[in-house]
Structure 1
Amino acid sequence: MSSVPLFVPIRGTGCSDTLCLFRTASGKRTAVAFSSPVKLAKVLGPGQRWVRLSEPAVRQMIAGLDVTGIVIDPAGTTRRPTGRVA
């Protein structure tokens, strides 16, 4: 596992922020992360909120969920968050 910081998209739920989960082309849920805020903005738009986390922290947050893994620097995503990580 890498200790390089990742930039992970989040969304506000009113009380707190949660990780955005996406779907792969095959329909499986996945977390996405980016190696820079610039790459995140290019894919998800400049208004997308994000948080800086390590890969182990993201993996711990999605552990136990029906999530395939983490896609780093995806070229595109399906812009439908499918759940949240508390």
Structure 2
Amino acid sequence: MPELLCGDDPEPSDRSPAGPLFVPVRPGPAGCAARFFRTPLGERTAVGFTSARGLAATLGPDQAWIRLAEPALRALAAPLGVTTVTVDPQLSAPAPAPVAPFAPRGRAVADRPHRLTA
């Protein structure tokens, strides 16, 4: 069995993309602010895409973006406690549909008098 030499790791733990990322932003009081998302387990994450096409396919064609290198995105996110950067996420949940406010009709069951039977 051949030995793995340093740098020959088939699954490197640090997968940094080459070049700047397309980072989704939203307008803020001082200009643009990076958008942060949640992983399926609920952890906050910064997100970057390796192409504008990938960003538009995932977040829609109207999503604003800026170009940042991954180290710059990490430095931007770190003071906010965000330590994870997700590159080219494949799946995203759709935005929730607006829900009409619930207006009960009549009295609720809990408001009705209860009769105890022996």
User: TM-score w.r.t. structure 2 length?
Assistant: 0.61
Asked if structure 2 preserves the Cα contact closer than 8 Å seen for 1:8 and 1:50, the reply is yes
The counterpart of 1:13, out of the listed 10, 13, 28, is 28
Whether 2:53 is the aligned partner of 1:38: answer yes
Report matched runs for 1:1-86 at 5 Å: 1-2=16-17, 4-78=19-93
Question: How far did 1:67 drift?
Answer: 1.4
Counterparts of 2:87 and 2:18, CA distance in 1: 13
Where 2:72 maps in the other structure, the secondary structure is helix
Count of aligned pairs between the two proteins = 80
User: TM-score w.r.t. structure 1 length?
Assistant: 0.82
Counterparts of 1:38 and 1:18, CA distance in 2: 21
**What is the Cα-based RMSD across aligned positions, in Å?**
1.9
Q: Which portions of structure 1, spanning 4 or more consecutive aligned residues, are displaced by more than 2 angstroms? A: 76-80
Where 1:67 maps in the other structure, the secondary structure is coil
Question: How far did 1:77 drift?
Answer: 2.9
- Structure 1: stretches of 5+ with no match in the other structure: 81-86
Looking at secondary structure, tell me which structure has more strand per residue: 1
Counterparts of 1:70 and 1:54, CA distance in 2: 11
Q: Which structure exhibits the higher relative contact order, with contacts defined as CA atoms closer than 8 Å and separated by 6 or more residues?
A: 1
Counterparts of 1:7 and 1:26, CA distance in 2: 24
Name the structure 1 match of 2:100: none
Asked if structure 2 preserves the Cα contact closer than 8 Å seen for 1:32 and 1:73, the reply is yes
Counterparts of 1:47 and 1:26, CA distance in 2: 27
